[in-house]
Structure 1
Amino acid sequence: MDITAAIYTLVLYKLVLLGIGLWSQRRTRNTDDYFLGGRQLGPVVAAISYGASSASAWTLLGMSGVAYVLGPAAIWIACGSVSGCAVAWLWIGPRLMRHTGERKQLTLTAFLAEDHRGERDRSIEITVSVIILISFIFYIAAQFQGAANTFSGAFNLPLAESLLLGAAIITIYTFLGGFWAASLTDTLQGILMLCAALLLPAFAFDAVGGWQGISAQAAQALGDVSMTAGNAGLAALGFVAGCIAVGIGTYGQPHLLNRFMALRDKRALRQAQFIAIGWMTLIFLGMFSLGVLGRFLIPEIENPETLFFEMSNLLLHPVVAAVLLAAVLSAIMSTADSMLLVVASTVSHDLRLQALTPGRELWVSRIAMVSVAVFAVIIALSLPATIFERVLFAWIAIGSAFGPTVFAKLAGARPAHRAVRESVLTGFILAVVLYLLPSTPGDWAERIIPFCAASVVLLLRPSRLGRLVQA
């Protein structure tokens, strides 16, 4: 890669993001603007910023790396992610937009803590807030690690210095503005990600020699890799179920669900549904294809998560490769900024620290962002793990803790406060325990059992069935 071209591209890109952040600050007049953009989000921004925040670094780096290792069997992960997006937009989105809009709720925590009379349970607010803080620190650490790998690989910098540089850039950018800045920049980043997901696999397909070249080299490149990664019987069923279950985490992510809460009307929702599902499909199929084709072009690679960069350097002009480098950084920032914003709303709004400093709520939010960024850097430096594993832990923990209650409430059930609290804790604690076991991180048990157990808790506890929340 041409280092000079990469530097110029990134500098220009950062200036554009800075301009968006400064412009967005003019539209932020109150907490409703700061946390939800005044509920005036349009379909393109809502859909693509949702996708960019959901996909993050693990899609461009992790998904392509997993596809390189597993081959065709990795398609099940892509299917799970796309199906999760579809369920979220087609079922959860319409109901959550209506429910939170009618009640003027700014955060997912407020929705989870509310009962059928509109009263909020303080213990649930605190429990949910603590879980968000713990999980998102790990999740943001994964994004910082992705930024560090990017800088280290592109500019030959030490990993620790690269991590600190990437974290500083993300934190400073997020510090500039609220929801509008995050959503607009995420949209730009999502467009760059889509270009990368279409461009690089297309060049790889041509370099392999098209379908004829794939047919000629398939036996040597793919070997005996199967659609179940060599598993058979119940093991194969568990492998497929575990891969598809990646999409379960989607249903409880606050930084994704707040896009539904911020949509301006039903028409914007309908248009965004088509855009979001289409974007997600192209991104995951592109990275899956890149990983599989990478086995043909680069038979041996030390770290599969660097495949994206290796293929860029191999196939593309240095300037184009520099643009794709910006796309990876875009994927990282699009998740990190959204999560830092959620953390800010959790600390200042849900934990009500703004009450201690009336009139300074935005400053409380910004201080929270910086504090979480520091903790995330410490974790990224002290707890080594691959990007994929660390993201899966936080993704599954949040999804298992909140997803069952989101479904139950939007389906019209009225679970008691105690049932919600126990369900949330069950999903989260089980996800943590299974992650810590030596044989389960990333497998079907970690992805499925916590969500199912949390759902069972809701079913066993007494609740009332209310009016179905219609779209």
Structure 2
Amino acid sequence: MGDLTLLWPILGYLLATMVLARLAARRSAADGNFSQRYFLGGQFMGGPLLALALVATYTSASSFIGGPGAAYQFGLGWVLLAVIQVPVAMLTLGVIGPKIWQIAKQTQAVTILDVLEHRYRSPLLLLLAGASLVLAFVGMVVVQFTGGARLLSVMTGVSYELALSLFVATVLLYTLWGGFRAVSYTDALQGVIMVLGMLALLLGVIHHGGGLANLTSQMSAIDPALLDPKGPDQFLSWPFLLSFWVLVGIGTLGLPHTVLRAMAVRDEGALRKAMILGTLVSGLVILLPHLAGALGRPLLPQLSSPDEVLPTLMVTLFPPLVAGLLLAAPMAAIMSSVDSMLLQAGSTLVKDLVQRHRPMSERSQKRFSHAVMLVLVMGCALLALDPPQMIVWLNLTAFGVLQAVFLWPLILGLFWPGANARGALAAMLTGSLSFVGWTVAQIRPWELHPIVPALALSLLAFLVCNGRGQHREQG
């Protein structure tokens, strides 16, 4: 099925990311101590760099495989649903960005756990937050490794193992070389690749389909509900919409790998520019692939799996070399998510859970950090060789756990002076345990996604236990 010609543009793209990472590493070689340099890179990011890196980090394989596949199956209603994600940059940088940046500037914070430690002064809270972050990120990285390797293998014809090796080796090299700064610059490159690749794909779909009017007319002939905002069988119900607003809307404020970006911004002016540019970029990165997936239905009416729509459109509509260049867009989405998760999981293990209790020299920090990163990458790669059957469940559960653990402790900790560690711990435990329990049992209270009632219970637990804690302190 695959075409080996597609591999050459991908190899060129992977080489370009490593060269860029090496150049970024040289620029940061003398900036601050090792932890500050490797795990955050200092406050160096301007508005455009922050906007591109943030959107690239948030965007993953689901935005180019699962999301367009759902749009192919459910029509334009799913495209409208997907654009709920567009304000992610505005929410992250506008709501908590200035507070996070100020804390990082005043306290030299390098990780999200540094922020929580500064706010709550609770070793138990840091341990719970750190363990949750590492476990969730490992699960999500395995999913991204698997998705990237399968995509590369199917489209190029190389073995799954070789595709996985190429993918893993590239991410490992540029992450080890330059740390956060290298990851930020490569993420920005990947953001540009995503926008250009998806714009070219959408224009190709419209051209081959005879224009938008003709494509939508053919979609209506297949099923008029493909043009209905609520989709076939009224699938997009109000409980579903509310769940999506929470899961990919307000819930994104609890994703550590996106929030961390605001800590590295140069100044508040750059933060404001990134809010505007990031919203525009996220709008393109989210709208273009989902719209291409929906409009691809008339061109590819007999797909065995909806998730194959974008890769199949690339191979069907374009010459092999061009299709290989377009393939760089979903690969960029996957890599930009993976590198940020790996770096933050590594920083949590090294700086937050080990170095905080056992100080090390800079040379020891460097060796230990690189060793931890190598173990993390190799461990995730081994799991990806034989991924668990419920890989989609694993990804969604990890995503929800991060929100359940971090959302309220971060928001209330930053904006409510009376928030204390007792309330934050109660919120973390209540939110994560209820979310995982409902997800495993496949229970949907009031037809809502489990993240909605889990976050509601988490907030209630925070307020109740925080109030009791304050009462005892006053007594």
The normalised TM-score by structure 1 is: 0.90
Structure 1 residues 13 and 224 mapped into 2: Cα distance closer, same or farther (>3 Å)? Answer: closer
Contact 2:2 2:153 in 1 (8 A): no
Q: Which residue of 2 aligns with 1:13?
A: 13
Aligned-residue offset at 1:169: 3.0
Partner amino acid for 1:384? Answer: Q
Matched positions, count = 459
How many angstroms apart in 1 are the aligned matches of 2:380 and 2:433?
A: 20
Contact 1:139 1:390 in 2 (8 A): yes
Secondary structure of the 2:378 match is: helix
Q: Which residue of 2 aligns with 1:343?
A: 345
How many angstroms apart in 2 are the aligned matches of 1:368 and 1:62?
A: 31
Contact 2:89 2:275 in 1 (8 A): no
Report the more deviating stretch, 431-440 or 119-128.
431-440
Contact 1:76 1:243 in 2 (8 A): no
Aligned-residue offset at 1:23: 1.8
Q: Which residue of 2 aligns with 1:57?
A: 61
How many angstroms apart in 2 are the aligned matches of 1:348 and 1:415?
A: 28
Secondary structure of the 2:418 match is: strand
Asked if residue 132 in structure 1 is aligned to residue 137 in structure 2, the reply is no
Q: Which residue of 1 aligns with 2:280?
A: 278
How many angstroms apart in 1 are the aligned matches of 2:213 and 2:133?
A: 49
For each residue in 1:234-270, what CA deviation from the matched residue of structure 2 results, as whole angstroms up to 9, or x when unmatched?
x821111122223243112221111100001011111
Contact 1:76 1:240 in 2 (8 A): no
Partner amino acid for 1:9? Answer: P
Aligned-residue offset at 1:215: 4.4
How do residues 191-340 of structure 1 correspond to structure 2 at under 5 angstroms?
Answer: 191-225=192-226, 226-230=228-232, 236-247=237-248, 248-340=250-342
Partner amino acid for 1:400? Answer: A
% identical aligned pairs: 25
How do residues 83-98 of structure 1 correspond to structure 2 at under 5 angstroms?
Answer: 83-98=87-102
Asked if residue 358 in structure 1 is aligned to residue 361 in structure 2, the reply is yes
Contact 1:52 1:335 in 2 (8 A): yes
Secondary structure of the 1:402 match is: helix
Aligned-residue offset at 1:11: 2.5
Which of 430, 442, 447 is the matching residue for 2:451? 447
How many angstroms apart in 1 are the aligned matches of 2:6 and 2:63?
A: 21
Aligned-residue offset at 1:64: 0.8
Structure 1 residues 290 and 95 mapped into 2: Cα distance closer, same or farther (>3 Å)? Answer: same
Report the more deviating stretch, 239-248 or 292-301.
239-248
Contact 1:401 1:427 in 2 (8 A): yes
How many angstroms apart in 1 are the aligned matches of 2:449 and 2:329?
A: 33
Contact 1:147 1:166 in 2 (8 A): yes
Structure 1 residues 9 and 161 mapped into 2: Cα distance closer, same or farther (>3 Å)? Answer: closer
Partner amino acid for 1:279? Answer: V
Partner amino acid for 2:211? Answer: G
Aligned-residue offset at 1:365: 1.8
Aligned-residue offset at 1:232: 5.5
For each residue in 1:292-347, what CA deviation from the matched residue of structure 2 results, as whole angstroms up to 9, or x when unmatched?
11111111212222211100111122221111112221111111111111011101
How many angstroms apart in 2 are the aligned matches of 1:238 and 1:314?
A: 37
How many angstroms apart in 2 are the aligned matches of 1:129 and 1:212?
A: 51
Aligned-residue offset at 1:20: 1.7
For each residue in 1:211-236, what CA deviation from the matched residue of structure 2 results, as whole angstroms up to 9, or x when unmatched?
33134313223343442334669x82
How many angstroms apart in 2 are the aligned matches of 1:251 and 1:439?
A: 25
Contact 1:114 1:121 in 2 (8 A): no
Q: Which residue of 1 aligns with 2:22?
A: 22
Structure 1 residues 379 and 439 mapped into 2: Cα distance closer, same or farther (>3 Å)? Answer: farther
Gaps of 5+ in 1: 465-471
Q: Which residue of 1 aligns with 2:183?
A: 182
Q: Which residue of 1 aligns with 2:388?
A: 383
Report the more deviating stretch, 24-33 or 344-353.
24-33
Gaps of 5+ in 2: 469-475
Considering only aligned residues, what root-mean-square deviation do their CA atoms show, in Å? Answer: 2.5
For each residue in 1:132-167, what CA deviation from the matched residue of structure 2 results, as whole angstroms up to 9, or x when unmatched?
111001110111011111221122234355334433
Secondary structure of the 1:297 match is: coil
Aligned-residue offset at 1:459: 1.7
Q: Which residue of 1 aligns with 2:472?
A: none
Contact 2:219 2:297 in 1 (8 A): no
Structure 1 residues 164 and 126 mapped into 2: Cα distance closer, same or farther (>3 Å)? Answer: same
Contact 1:245 1:444 in 2 (8 A): no
Secondary structure of the 1:88 match is: helix
